[in-house]
Structure 1
Amino acid sequence: MKLNAIYSGFTVERVESVKELNGIAYMLHHTKSGARLLYIDADDTNKVFSISFRTPPKDSTGVAHIMEHSVLCGSRKFPLKEPFVELVKGSLNTFLNAMTYPDKTMYPVASKNDKDFHNLMDVYLDAVFYPRVATDKEIVMQEGWHYELDSAEDDLTYKGVVYNEMKGVYSSPDSILETHMMAELFPDTTYGVDSGGNPDNIPELTYEGFQAFYKQYYHPSNSYIFLYGTMDIEEQLRFINEEYLQNFDAISVDSTIAVQAPFTAGKVASYPYSIGSDENETGKTMHALTYVMPEMTVADNLGFEILTHALLTSPAAPLKELLVKAGVGSDVSGYYLDSLRQPIWNISVTGSEMKEQKRLQELVETELARLVKEGIDKSLLEASLNITEFALREADFGGRPIGLAYGIRVMDQWNYDKDPIEALRYEAALTTLREGLTGRYFEELIERALLQNQHKALVSIYPEKGLQEQKEKAEQEQLATIKAKMSPEEIEAIVAQTKALKARQAAPDTEEALATIPLLELTDLSPKVERVERHDSKLGKASLHFVPTQAKGINYTAFYFHLDCLTEEELFYAGLLSDMLARVNTKERTYDAIAQDINMNLGGFSADIAALTKYNDRNGYTPLFIVRAKALHAKLPELVRIVTELVSYSEYTDVSRLTELVKETKAIWDTEAFRRGHTIVSNRVMAQVSEVGKFRDLDGLGYFEQLATLANDETALQALPTKLSEVATKLFRPSNVDISFVGETEEFDRFKELLEPALQKWQDGTYDKGQLKITKSYVNEGIVTSGKVQYVAQGGNFRDHGFTPKGAMKVLETILRYEYLWTRIRVQGGAYGAFANFYNNGNFVLCSYRDPNLTETLSVYEELSQYLQNFEISDREMRKYIIGTMSTLDTPITPALRGPRAMSEYFGEGSPEAAERLREEVIDCRQADIRDLAEVVGAVMKDSHISVMGNEQKIKNAGDTFSQVISLPQ
């Protein structure tokens, strides 16, 4: 496209090369409607479209969040209850979602299929510009909140999807802390309220207020359209103009995001948060010291990311180490956030006490002043700069479309009337920062943005037993008062309204409405999989696996150490080892020197434990301790050297350091356990029926339980050096490792040259394999918390009942997630979501997420078999589910993911042929195949293996559902 030329009403205002993306950026303006558009022409078939609106809320009713949900519940051209869900069921999308931020709302989609991409774009544009919710109050009632009353005699309650989602969010202490922190920092602007919605305020939202919010912000003149990838851009512009934008006239939209006036003095505030009646208050206080930044450049923003990594998040970050050693808390973390009009820099402390509040700020600012005066260690900064630069150049987002990341990034500038293209550039900023290493750039940045800055707040939250019970009682009393003031006619109106809403939710869309959603043909699907080549060989006693890949000069390595040489008791210490590797001294160097070496030379280093299941085996799995490292090819010698030093020469003798790491890890679990609830309860159910389930629990809640016990046992802490050394000696042996390498042939040859002498330095010995037998038993369990919602899981193993895996099971996962469970548990039950998983080893689990219910959800699970017996839909709807299932099987395989895919096939004894047979079964699946699964599900549900995490009173009221009721570890 030519500069200043007009294409379908869009004027090309800028054309610029962006070498960081190897693409061309086009900035366009739609004259009639006032819409802005940015197109990135890049050689990428994974196309991305997004339309965003600047949406600063004025209160915490969650109006922006509820709007995001609601506009996707039917529109002019697609008059269904939930076109979004219908799209998910039947699209080959590589991304499909919507996101509410503090000051903007984004609606992005992505697909490799041209026809599918067009369909997605059409549905989303119609949703935001012509939503049914503009005139349909029931949609807001369902997605936001409403009074629920089944009969005039019942108690009045609140229900709604966002209402219950945010009750789940507000069950996590870190979310509560962040809410108070933002309110203190931004008392006069949109950032001081919660765009997601505070459950206490959501019922204050009126339909009239909702409509006014839509009318104010959802206009093309307030929109930001983003397109990325290989496409016929003129055809896309023509479609957007003719179908949508030409119908609107440009207007002036007041969506200004006000700037909070700087403080003349910092704030200090404290608030209580609820813990369970059996929880210990000790070590449960959390602090957040946060600064609101002055005006920052792109280089300044990147500079603060580097400072954050260097001072707070790398394994030996000096500011973090100072605070931990001073006893301020068990764990210290931090972040820099520049996706706000006024960026913020945060230091968070967990595992603390209220008495440490004052000392935190004193210690931080004294240390920052010292660093400014004496100068920051330049090698530390350079190491953090290197790892930041590596991430920018690698541009890998774990299989998500890279264009999606670019689309989100440009809004960090565009939303504030800054240059969006500048957000994609980093070369100039990196040059500035490298030059800054030779001077005082970073010290002056700290001086200006932190030490001379009074716009800051130190906010703490402390535990208080019974607070949640008090809130629930107050809510019940409030609702009782509201009901008592209603006339009999008003009460009957709510009963009728409840009945009408439930009838609407239960009623299927008409065939005519469903037919409005564009749909691909089964002939558009291919049973073929993207094959990942792997070559197996030996190097001495070690097994090598080469995955040929062009990866922009980056090599990805993984060292798979087998855990079957350990005992059940030792498995816990292997988990500890994965948390501590590269964070303790070696015989050669201190851990801070190692951390600096890793950051200077590698693009990443990690260790964890995992279980890879055998493809078609009821009990088969491979338990592994996996060390991953990636680097530019030129840095391969350093990669091999660092890995060798860590596995061969790490010392586990410093009890003080080991204790510090144990308590830090426990503090992280204390904060995040509830957030991981769906994973915890799913694994807990699977642990009742399979060895691999037991293994995964011992890396989950089982690990947390043992960790909490260890943290409070001085004798056990003193024994840690011996335990860890014994486990490391057993694991880190050439004869006990499979090593994968992703790169090009000559790069692999070089890797072998470097690896051969390195392996000779590794210790070796002979240990029996097959020792790992997990004997721990599991029962139906209620895990009580102070949370406001539940995670409810039930399942079992269908192979135990004589059934085998089928492709129809993958289709049923889609049907359950977006039809049966979606309707019964999310739409009608008010939960945030629910899912089902069938595994090749026979494990099957159903799980709800942020669910206000418990026994009601178990009843939904119990009725599933009957639903399947009567399953009857049109061929078109069945085709939709098949297409949607294929989408989940087609995650793009980036260079970083090729190694894990290849090794999963190797350890799982799978093959591309087996994967293609599964895909063929999916494509050939029909309604009768789904009905046949009623017997499978019915047999498993009768076993009644259940696990629930959630509200203490809900669990205790569930009677004999559980064999035992426990609390989260203390």
Structure 2
Amino acid sequence: VTPLPELFLTAVKLNHDSTGAQYLHVAREDKNNLFSVQFRTTPMDSTGVPHILEHTVLCGSMKYPCRDPFFKMLNRSLATFMNAFTASDYTLYPFSTQNSKDFQNLLSVYLDAVFFPCLRELDFWQEGWRLEHENPTDPQSPLVFKGVVFNEMKGAFTDNERIFSQYLQNQLLPDHTYSVVSGGDPLSIPDLSWEQLKQFHATHYHPSNARFFTYGNLPLEQHLRQIHEEALSKFQRIESSTTVPAQKLWDIPREYHVTCGPDTFATDSTKQTTISVSFLLPDITDIFEAFTLNLLSSLLIGGPNSPFYKALIESGLGTDFSPEVGYNGYTREAYFSVGLQGIADKHMETVKNIITRTIDEVIEKGFEDNRVEALLHKIEIQMKHQSTSFGLALTSYIASCWNHEGDPTELLNLGKQVTQFRKCLKENPNFLQEKVKQYFKNNQHRLTLSMSPDEKYYEKQAQMETEKLKQKVDSLSMKDRQQIYEKGLELRTLQSKPQDASCLPALKVSDIERTISFTELDIALAADEIPVQYCAQPTNGVVYFRAFSSLNTLPEELRPYVPLFCSVLTNPHFEDEEHFKVLVKMTAQELSNGIPDSGHLYASIRASRTLTPAGDLQETFNGMDQVRLMKRIAETSDLKPILRKLPRIKKHLLNCDNMRCSVNAAPQQMSQAGKEIENFIKNLGRSKKERKSVRPHVIEDPTFKPCQMKTHFLLPFPVNYVGECVRTVPYTDPDYASLRILARLMTAKFLHTEIREKGGAYGGGAKLSSNGIFTFYSYRDPNSIETLQCFEKAVNWAKSGSFTLEDIDEAKLSVFSVADAPVAPSDKGMDQFLYGLSDEMKQAHREQLFAVSHEQLINVSNKYLGIGQSTRGLAILGPDNVNIDKDPSWVIR
């Protein structure tokens, strides 16, 4: 038992006598309780076996044999978090909830899922991979690869940063499990058999190879009793053979080159090469050494004053740091990587030389004391900051170290590590320089990895997939073909059958609190006119300040440049054109890199663009328009005209007349905070005009008229991201509650089955935003037009009312789990401050949610979602599509 007062927690470490299972409980006065169980999973090939297993164990178990209990529990619980993750060498299953009955329900489902899964062949087919006819009902249609993980990983490998990171780990740690792709390489996934999957479960998902973690204010004894009775008592200890051996150290450095797809949004097509130099570091279970090296990494690369930022980024040779930059402690031995992306081939040697030279300079000069202090101060502030997902952050933080037998309690003792670090620095002023010399200059285990685009990359990937498919199909007998056809029909029948989830535990709507607790807010005027919202909260001595500025006075032509203004605002070199060029390139590169991971958001933002003034502004700020604008700016040789726009934007944004402020702090800190705000306001500009009342919740544009628009962004990806948006009503409208329940109902009872299970997309569903945009979306989806047809079918399904009262109650539970998600002390009152949503409005909306009926759901489906009822927008990001190209109603970008 270890008390850690600076984190307000007590850690309890246990071992289970008969199985050897390890357990860590973190007792803390936090009602958002968390459970997780992790297994060390060490695959020796790239078939994605741990990843496919993670999906398949959640498809039904002995006690809960219904299909997909995991997704069904999303609607039968008030969970604040539910998911599962496959890392390089472990698989983690966490959930959190604020309700003790719900905790027991979810714990029961999770324990049964991981220890006693059904692992049915058809679930493996659906989630992993299968051969199936393009049209499952037509045995003459061609056979193709299908499967959720197969499509997920095809999508993942369109992300060039992901490709680079994957090869970096594979090549730097080539002797064991890190040499393979644990998530699965799309070309290797079809080599995995159902038998191999079951065998991997038997050897890895055993209590002797498990680590349990609980967090929060629920009693530990209750958890231990349930975990023992429902799972551990049914096992005996086995010798687990999952240990990852130490990587054999190299005598001489190595080099490796890989290719990737071209970047459609690259600012210069001749500068798309990435290069980095990576160094193997000690075992992550050496906790103080890991802390020191992590801190050293921040000093080397963090912020514009760091040595590598000055040497590499400001050289202008590239657009941004290479992927995986800095310290990585997710493998048994950590590593540090540094390099550049967006460079020309001819500059590779120059970059390597700069890295070597910078290391030498750091060894000679060391670091400024104030930068070291600032970093330690940041760690101390982070320890004081209270987040709502603290339990989830802890389980993620300790997972890797604990996975390799490191001491998780020691890892949590950050205060001790800071004290020890200060002591080492005091005793030896060259402490950090010596580390740089030891781990970087004199380290022979060093990998130089380069990556450049191949114009035919996606073509070659598709060709290899075609060859793999041909090889599989050619080896089939007539009997095999008949079986594939019959299994395809069987899977389709199973997916279409109404499912009985009555075996699963569930909360009831009656378990939900009828009223919310109100947050006390005070509004005062600073400098006589500026409204400030004060919210007294137990913030642990930290003050949280926010200022909100209305854009309503900003001229139209300056609006697209606001995100750029925000990204350079905290930089001291505001007028320095060379420095500005560097920041522009970095921003453009980051936006381009983000598309494969957030394609569904870009599609949804574009689809809502022509529906509301807010949607139009969101596309300008956060959509594909912004990506393209930043690409254009980054390609411009003379940036002076852009620089001249920034002071004009500043005049409107950093102007007290357009501003409101808020403070969340402890009661005794409020008067001091008020004085600081007065000073802040005095230092800002004011316009000569009389101050108008600011309504930042409203984007005013009386000329705006909603209209339909369909856009297809052609991207060289093998998967699609689809968005369809419908304009409905805002939060305060009585129909809003019904539409919110309807979005959840459609997702759980129709879209999940059609888009993910049958269609093979990684994700899809419907959601309603607070401004009343109803969005249908899909993510990493092998289909596009078919998915849009699916959205239409979902509306017809809703209009027909073929859902039960139990379905509605489940959807309500799911919506309340979001509405009642915990709010950190730093964020209390923010809905009022940012969106104008008072507690009274929220309570009224809550009552409307409780009252939503079967009839109301059919009514809103007819009233808003039927074709011709409301204005809608459509967008797809993805590859060529003959059907779209022929259709004149689509705009191709």
Comparing 376-385 with 102-111, which one deviates more in the overlay? Answer: 376-385
Comparing 858-867 with 468-477, which one deviates more in the overlay? Answer: 468-477
Residue 471 (structure 1) aligned with residue 461 (structure 2): yes
Q: Distance in 2 between matches of 1:157 and 1:774?
A: 50
Residue 115 (structure 1) aligned with residue 101 (structure 2): yes
Q: How does 1:790-869 map to 2 (within 5 A)?
A: 790-799=720-729, 805-869=735-799
Q: Distance in 1 between matches of 2:520 and 2:346?
A: 58
Cα drift, residue 357 of structure 1: 2.3
Cα drift, residue 174 of structure 1: 0.3
Question: Is the contact made by 2:544 and 2:663 (CA closer than 8 Å) also made in structure 1?
Answer: yes
Question: Is the contact made by 1:372 and 1:444 (CA closer than 8 Å) also made in structure 2?
Answer: yes
Cα drift, residue 772 of structure 1: 7.4
Question: Is the contact made by 1:305 and 1:336 (CA closer than 8 Å) also made in structure 2?
Answer: yes
Q: Secondary structure at the match of 2:52?
A: helix
Question: Is the contact made by 1:436 and 1:442 (CA closer than 8 Å) also made in structure 2?
Answer: no
Amino acid at match of 1:516: C
Residue 139 (structure 1) aligned with residue 129 (structure 2): no
Name the structure 2 match of 1:216. Answer: 203
Residue 152 (structure 1) aligned with residue 82 (structure 2): no
Comparing 833-842 with 451-460, which one deviates more in the overlay? Answer: 833-842
Q: Distance in 1 between matches of 2:6 and 2:506?
A: 36
CA deviation digits over 1:133-177, x for unaligned, max 9?
0xx211111110000112332222111111111111111110111
Name the structure 1 match of 2:814. Answer: 884
Residue 305 (structure 1) aligned with residue 232 (structure 2): no
CA deviation digits over 1:742-762, x for unaligned, max 9?
113332211222332443332
Give 2:178's match in structure 1, choosing from 191, 199, 207: 191
Name the structure 1 match of 2:498. Answer: 508
User: Would the alpha carbon gap of residues 52 and 82 (structure 1) be closer, same or farther in structure 2, given more than 3 Å must change?
Assistant: same
Give 2:857's match in structure 1, choosing from 926, 930, 954: 930
Name the structure 1 match of 2:247. Answer: 260
Q: Secondary structure at the match of 1:163?
A: helix
Amino acid at match of 2:22: R
Name the structure 2 match of 1:454. Answer: 444
CA deviation digits over 1:203-224, x for unaligned, max 9?
1111111111011111111111
Amino acid at match of 1:932: N
State the percentage of identical aligned residues: 26
Q: Distance in 2 between matches of 1:791 and 1:940?
A: 24
* Structure-1-length-normalised TM-score: 0.86
User: Would the alpha carbon gap of residues 75 and 809 (structure 1) be closer, same or farther in structure 2, given more than 3 Å must change?
Assistant: same
Q: Distance in 2 between matches of 1:771 and 1:277?
A: 35
Comparing 763-772 with 942-951, which one deviates more in the overlay? Answer: 763-772
Name the structure 2 match of 1:359. Answer: 350
User: Would the alpha carbon gap of residues 428 and 276 (structure 1) be closer, same or farther in structure 2, given more than 3 Å must change?
Assistant: closer
User: Would the alpha carbon gap of residues 482 and 521 (structure 1) be closer, same or farther in structure 2, given more than 3 Å must change?
Assistant: closer
CA deviation digits over 1:415-463, x for unaligned, max 9?
1112121111111110122234442222122222222212221212211
Q: How does 1:237-636 map to 2 (within 5 A)?
A: 237-275=224-262, 281-295=269-283, 297-332=286-321, 334-396=325-387, 399-400=388-389, 402-438=390-426, 439-510=429-500, 514-540=501-527, 541-585=529-573
Residue 102 (structure 1) aligned with residue 88 (structure 2): yes
User: Would the alpha carbon gap of residues 403 and 810 (structure 1) be closer, same or farther in structure 2, given more than 3 Å must change?
Assistant: same
Amino acid at match of 1:920: E
Q: Secondary structure at the match of 2:261?
A: strand
Amino acid at match of 1:849: Y
Cα drift, residue 276 of structure 1: 7.0
User: Would the alpha carbon gap of residues 368 and 955 (structure 1) be closer, same or farther in structure 2, given more than 3 Å must change?
Assistant: farther
User: Would the alpha carbon gap of residues 859 and 316 (structure 1) be closer, same or farther in structure 2, given more than 3 Å must change?
Assistant: same
* Structure-2-length-normalised TM-score: 0.93
Question: Is the contact made by 2:321 and 2:341 (CA closer than 8 Å) also made in structure 1?
Answer: yes
Q: Distance in 1 between matches of 2:55 and 2:38?
A: 14
Q: Secondary structure at the match of 2:226?
A: helix
User: Would the alpha carbon gap of residues 679 and 277 (structure 1) be closer, same or farther in structure 2, given more than 3 Å must change?
Assistant: closer
Amino acid at match of 1:949: L
Q: Distance in 1 between matches of 2:132 and 2:47?
A: 18
Cα drift, residue 185 of structure 1: 0.7
Question: Is the contact made by 2:746 and 2:798 (CA closer than 8 Å) also made in structure 1?
Answer: no
Q: Distance in 2 between matches of 1:245 and 1:484?
A: 46
Name the structure 2 match of 1:912. Answer: 839
Q: Distance in 1 between matches of 2:433 and 2:780?
A: 44
Name the structure 2 match of 1:702. Answer: 625
Question: Is the contact made by 1:299 and 1:430 (CA closer than 8 Å) also made in structure 2?
Answer: no
Residue 763 (structure 1) aligned with residue 685 (structure 2): yes
User: Would the alpha carbon gap of residues 881 and 573 (structure 1) be closer, same or farther in structure 2, given more than 3 Å must change?
Assistant: closer
Residue 200 (structure 1) aligned with residue 127 (structure 2): no
Amino acid at match of 1:349: L
Q: Distance in 2 between matches of 1:442 and 1:873?
A: 64
Question: Is the contact made by 1:100 and 1:195 (CA closer than 8 Å) also made in structure 2?
Answer: yes
Question: Is the contact made by 1:559 and 1:738 (CA closer than 8 Å) also made in structure 2?
Answer: yes
Question: Is the contact made by 1:169 and 1:175 (CA closer than 8 Å) also made in structure 2?
Answer: yes
Cα drift, residue 778 of structure 1: 8.2
Gap regions ≥5 residues in structure 2: 693-698
Question: Is the contact made by 2:281 and 2:336 (CA closer than 8 Å) also made in structure 1?
Answer: yes
Residue 714 (structure 1) aligned with residue 701 (structure 2): no
Q: Secondary structure at the match of 1:89?
A: coil
Q: Distance in 2 between matches of 1:144 and 1:215?
A: 18
Name the structure 1 match of 2:696. Answer: none
Q: Distance in 2 between matches of 1:222 and 1:474?
A: 37
**How many equivalent residue pairs?**
872
Name the structure 2 match of 1:130. Answer: 116
Question: Is the contact made by 1:831 and 1:852 (CA closer than 8 Å) also made in structure 2?
Answer: yes
CA deviation digits over 1:684-725, x for unaligned, max 9?
11102111001001112222222222222234x122332111
Q: Secondary structure at the match of 1:688?
A: coil
Question: Is the contact made by 1:49 and 1:228 (CA closer than 8 Å) also made in structure 2?
Answer: yes
User: Would the alpha carbon gap of residues 277 and 576 (structure 1) be closer, same or farther in structure 2, given more than 3 Å must change?
Assistant: closer
User: Would the alpha carbon gap of residues 322 and 70 (structure 1) be closer, same or farther in structure 2, given more than 3 Å must change?
Assistant: same
Q: Secondary structure at the match of 1:835?
A: strand
Name the structure 2 match of 1:677. Answer: 599
Question: Is the contact made by 1:172 and 1:787 (CA closer than 8 Å) also made in structure 2?
Answer: no
Comparing 161-170 with 230-239, which one deviates more in the overlay? Answer: 230-239
CA deviation digits over 1:925-958, x for unaligned, max 9?
233332223212114687552101112x247765
| C-alpha RMSD over aligned residues | 2.4
Q: Distance in 2 between matches of 1:873 and 1:957?
A: 33
Name the structure 1 match of 2:878. Answer: 950
Give 2:35's match in structure 1, choosing from 38, 49, 53: 49
User: Would the alpha carbon gap of residues 362 and 457 (structure 1) be closer, same or farther in structure 2, given more than 3 Å must change?
Assistant: same
Question: Is the contact made by 1:825 and 1:834 (CA closer than 8 Å) also made in structure 2?
Answer: yes
User: Would the alpha carbon gap of residues 204 and 530 (structure 1) be closer, same or farther in structure 2, given more than 3 Å must change?
Assistant: farther
